[in-house]
Amino acid sequence: MAWPALFNRYPLLYPDSMTYLEDGRLVARALFLHQLSDYYGMRSLIYSLGILPFHWNVTPWPVVALQAFLTAYVIWLVVRSILAKRTVACYLALVALLSLLTGLSWFVSLIMPDILGSVLYLCIDLLVFARETLTRAERVAVMLIAWFAVASHATHLMLAAGLCVLLALLLLLRHRSLHPRLRAVGEVAMIIVLAAAAHMALHGYLYGEPSLNGGRPPFLMARVIADGPGAWYLQQHCGLVKLAICDYVQDLPNDPDDFIWGENGVWQSASEDTQKRLLQEEVPFVLATLRAYPRAQLSKSAANFWEQLTTFDLDLDARDWVTEQFDTVMPAGRSRYLQSRQARNNLPFDFFSSVQNWTVIASVVVIVAFAFTPGIWRRRPTRLIGLAVAIVPAVIANALVTGAMSVVEDRYQARVVWLAPFLAGVLLLEWGARWQRGRTARKNET
């Protein structure tokens, strides 16, 4: 799974990677040495703290090893829960194909919590639908991995909570024999609550005020303004309401990235007090926009969702900001990074994006064929159905949360879309195993 990092000669990095690598040291100083800082970043401090013992701001290679191990371990448990025979061969073949044909290996090799979202959804499947296949030690390990994955990114927490609600509803509507699995859903919900509580406690200690996201930007405000309805609302009502964003009504960007990250954008140019006001007013402003222009906003959100669902190229080219941050984040690694293919923009992302696109298309065809074959699911084990129920809603909801609530970006969907080929591969392997058992049985009868 780590072959892209080896091929690149260095772990893959994204601008956010440098923040994760740097923030862990600041948080550790605050927790263990009581050396508080004014600011700790806007990303998951738990992920930053969790990977700190693996890199110590010296080298990120152990972080790749960690992510490869966690991903490989969880995939192994899922494959073992469904395929009882030739498990090792099926597992190795599946991992090899996923590593070559999808973005799985690229996100394992990327110093970001992105890969942990997919790992989390597989953990939920294991805890709810394949619990009986796990030993006590394995169950504890999966719970710990799930907790770390939930705490590693805000979208993971949102999607895991939504998946829990969906699973609870589906199990309540199904046969009573499935109701005992509701207890497992409750345990997953407790993992999510504990991850949220950890964020609240950590931010409370560091900033003096509990929160889930710390100093996050107003992503949703930026989204509805860029979509249009938010800007219309401000143009019509800024004379009547006193919102901080009204000071920028004559110069509103039509791109969420420009709103948040632009050098002269609203968020970057705002004072600390204005930023606090923008965050406080974000939800009331968005709700007011929805009341004023419900059809227009829902239509635009639906378009953003569909665009994100179908946008998943591998786009991890080098950024100048990454190189600039090495001197403060990881000085010893700067020269090695500059020798990498990524630093020279010499990685074949276009080729592998094309390979992944065709792989996903073929996988969707396989999944749809299995789903709509008459009577086929009546012969499927509960664990296989559970895997599909965990994966399909997670992939769709990921596009909804990121595209409709933040910004459409290839990386957001590419980090989970490999789950579709994974599901298709498991379906084909299980079908092949069942066909082989039937063939053997017929031979024995004759």
Q: Distance between CA atoms of 153 and 113, rounded to whole angstroms?
A: 7
Residue numbers of the chain with a pLDDT score lower than 50:
none
Q: Distance between CA atoms of 264 and 218, rounded to whole angstroms?
A: 16
> Do 427 and 366 form a contact (C-beta atoms < 8 A)?
yes
Q: Which token pair is 363?
A: 């996988």
Q: Distance between CA atoms of 266 and 256, rounded to whole angstroms?
A: 10
Contact residues for 77 (Cβ-Cβ < 8 A; gap 6+): 126, 130, 133, 134, 138, 142
Query: Tens digit of pLDDT for each residue in 146-171?
Result: 999 999 999 999 999 999 999 988 88
Q: Distance between CA atoms of 62 and 49, rounded to whole angstroms?
A: 14
> Do 160 and 124 form a contact (C-beta atoms < 8 A)?
yes
What pLDDT, on the 0 to 100 scale, is given for residue 374? 64
**Hey, is 246 helix, strand or coil?**
helix
**Number of helical (H) and strand (E) elements in the chain, helices listed first:** 22, 0
What pLDDT, on the 0 to 100 scale, is given for residue 376? 57
Q: Model pTM?
A: 0.93
Which residues in 2-105 belong to E strands, given as ranges? none
Cβ-count burial of 35 within 10 angstroms (0-12 exposed, 13-18 middle, 19+ buried)? exposed
Q: Which of 186, 193, 112 is nearest to 150 (CA)?
A: 193
Q: Which of 176, 275, 164 is nearest to 216 (CA)?
A: 275
What pLDDT, on the 0 to 100 scale, is given for residue 307? 95
Chain centre distance of CA 240: 40
> Do 296 and 332 form a contact (C-beta atoms < 8 A)?
no
Cα atoms in the 13 Å half-sphere on the side-chain side of 27: 28
Cβ-count burial of 180 within 10 angstroms (0-12 exposed, 13-18 middle, 19+ buried)? exposed
Q: Which amino acid is at 63?
A: V
